[in-house]
Structure 1
């Protein structure tokens, strides 16, 4: 479960066995979790986050999208 970024209490990561899925990033803070597709950026699922928190997380995903994609491709052995 490689952690890609920790910022503002959020942890952004992906699971090592999800390489067959399109690039995405998981985010958690406490018991709250969400999953965002990266291309295009879209919320896949969320549990516990309130809508205003998801808006904040979405902005962080947008801001760090390129580094998330790079980490995804490096981890799963694919070129970006």
Structure 2
């Protein structure tokens, strides 16, 4: 589970089992976990984050979308 990026309490991660899925990023804080598709950024699944915090996380994913896409392609070799 490589951590791609860290902003405040948020860890932006991939799971090695994600190979074969479209590019996406998971964001973890404590026991909460959310998944965002990349290109275009859209919410895939949320476990525990409240709406106001999802909005903040979504803005971060959009801001660093290119960084996450590059990391995805580097990690999965696609």
> Is TM-score (shorter-chain normalized) higher than 0.5?
yes
Moved over 6 A (4+): none
- Unaligned stretches of 5+ in structure 1? none
Paired residues in the alignment total: 78
TM-score (norm 2): 0.97
Could you tell me how far apart the structure 1 residues matched to 2:44 and 2:8 are?
Answer: 21
Q: Specify the SS of the correspondent of 2:64.
A: helix
Q: Specify the SS of the correspondent of 1:17.
A: helix
TM-score (norm 1): 0.94
Pick which of 12-21 and 50-59 moved more.
Answer: 12-21
Report how far residue 36 of structure 1 moved: 0.1
Report how far residue 6 of structure 1 moved: 0.7
